[in-house]
Amino acid sequence: MRFTTPVIRPVAGAAVLLIAAAAAGLAGCSSTSSSNSAASGSSGSAASGSALTIADVAPFSGPDAALGPTYLASCYGATSAINNAGGVLGHQLTCKSVDTRGDPADAVPAVNQMFASTPSLALVIGCTSDEAASVAPIINSHKMAMFCMTGQSEFDSVHFPYFYRLVPPDLEESYAMVAIAQQLGYKRIALAFGNDIGSQTFIQPAIASLAKAGMVLTTNQTLDLKATTFRTEAEAIIQSHPDAIMTEALGAADPTLFSEIKQLNNGKMIPIIGTSAAISPPFFKSAAAAVGATTFTSNFHADNLVVESSGPAFQTFSSALLAQQGKVPGATGNFTTYLSAPGGVHLYDGINLAALAMIMSKSTSPGVYGADIVKIGNGVPGATLCYSFAACAASLKAGKSIRYEGPGGPTNFDGFHDSTGIFQVDTYSPSGQVNVVGNLTAAELRALSG
């Protein structure tokens, strides 16, 4: 593997709610909006010359509102590069935002409305831990391919034929956070996780892993993402005297907590270990504003999945993504951070894999092209290794078998369409640049698993 600068991403979980049939009747009350000249589609092959739509199903409002624009930036970058290379089977690609608000109650009708209003739909991306358990069965029932950004462990063992995932289960990320604490010599750990589905899924694996590592859990605080102050939680954390805080609480929650800890702790921050969700421009911007960029960056580490930061795959990805700066609704902060954000990297790869599978299968129907996603990602004997949509498409058109390797590195899909990589340790510079300061081995994670 040619990894020079690694990266990670965020995940989370809850029990899979197999409610596709019941949800079909909830198609009112749409929270869907479109961008990048969104077109329409269905799970069948699109009409010749029509636009194909990629739907970004994720929060664009609510506490996790930063996730949707992160994934949309990836969609804009990938589809722009694909369209510049001639598109797919005579079709151009467009992106459409579908706002789940981070809540299954809003996500189900939004997804049903998406299918009702998008006849040229060719792929779904996003589907975070906030809503994946509720909407993945619906998307699967429509025979629509999806690349989801969820680490919910139930997807490790429940087979949805149209589900694909390039991020690890949340429990592995919990182990990674504990491994970082070990590397830094911390012995006493406080937990502070949001009350959303995606964040809560980290807690039990983290508690078990801390016990296995012989560390002390000083306190476990749940942060209400709708609250405006966390003074009580901050006081409890400070009084428990931790060496570090392991946390994921998106939106304004974590930055507010950091600010109140600093205020109540005589101007001193307690070191923070975050999940890969913290590797995003909005998170850095708000956390740095809350406690000061230098204070925040000198006390912060996060796990992330290794991502290539040089070479042909990264060069193509970087050019495509950075060309979208200023064009993505809702994208804020240092745009270069999207080069390390989990969604920015892995959904870019997912879109390329799906587009190439369409070319390989000569179909825009997920029921036809889906099987070729795995073939192109895992490769077959004698396959030509290629690093961009343009190069891979040219090889396919020349009659060659291919193996696509994007900025997320090589894929290795299993029988549940999971392909997860290895972890790195990230920090920030005071300007918001992501720095890779270490790696976590598979042996380290195994030693901390339950």
| Residue range 166-195, pLDDT digits in tens | 988 888 899 999 999 999 999 999 999 999
Evaluate if residue 11 carries a pLDDT over 50. no
Highest mean pLDDT among 40-44, 289-293, 330-334: 289-293
Name residue 174's amino acid. Answer: S
Residue with more model confidence, 446 or 106: 106
- The crossing angle, in degrees rounded to 10, of helices 311-322 and 342-361 is 100
Residue with more model confidence, 266 or 155: 266
Residue 449: its pLDDT value, please? 84
**137-164 confidence digits (pLDDT tens):** 999 999 999 999 998 877 888 889 999 9
Show Cβ contacts of residue 282 under 8 Å, excluding neighbours closer than 6 positions.
Answer: 66, 332, 333
Evaluate if residue 270 carries a pLDDT over 90. yes
Q: How confident is the model at residue 377 (pLDDT cuts 50, 70, 90)?
A: very high
Residue 44: its pLDDT value, please? 53
Evaluate if residue 31 carries a pLDDT over 50. no
Q: Is 201 helix (H, G, I), strand (E, B) or coil?
A: coil
Looking at 118-152, list the stretches that DSSP marks H as alpha helix, in order from N- to C-terminal side. Answer: 132-141
Evaluate if residue 38 carries a pLDDT over 60. no
CA dist., res. 18 & res. 373, Å (int) = 25
Do the Cβ atoms of 344 and 406 come closer than 8 Å? no
Residue 346: its pLDDT value, please? 92
Residue 450: its pLDDT value, please? 64
**384-430 confidence digits (pLDDT tens):** 999 999 999 999 999 999 999 999 988 889 889 988 777 899 999 99
Mean pLDDT computed over 99-125: 96
- Give the angle subtended at the CA of 179 by the CAs of 177 and 183, to the nearest 5°: 120
Name beta bridge partners: 147.
Answer: 125, 164
Evaluate if residue 254 carries a pLDDT over 90. yes
DSSP 440: E
Name residue 137's amino acid. Answer: P
Strands annotated E in 365-422 = 384-386, 402-404
pTM: 0.77
Q: Is 449 helix (H, G, I), strand (E, B) or coil?
A: coil
Name residue 24's amino acid. Answer: A
Q: Order of strands across the sheet with 121-126?
A: 93-99, 52-58, 121-126, 146-148, 163-164
- Give the angle subtended at the CA of 159 by the CAs of 105 and 133, to the nearest 5°: 15
Mean pLDDT computed over 32-43: 38
Residue 305: its pLDDT value, please? 85
Residue with more model confidence, 198 or 206: 206
Residue 48: its pLDDT value, please? 63
Radius of gyration over every alpha carbon of the chain, rounded to an integer in angstroms: 21
CA dist., res. 185 & res. 243, Å (int) = 9
**45-83 confidence digits (pLDDT tens):** 566 678 999 999 999 999 889 899 999 999 999 999 999
Neighbours of 22 (CB within 10 A): 12
Do the Cβ atoms of 255 and 287 come closer than 8 Å? yes
Length of the chain: 450
Mean pLDDT of all residues belonging to the chain: 88
Evaluate if residue 35 carries a pLDDT over 70. no
Neighbours of 239 (CB within 10 A): 11
CA dist., res. 302 & res. 202, Å (int) = 14
Share of the chain above pLDDT 70, in %: 89
Residue 202: its pLDDT value, please? 93
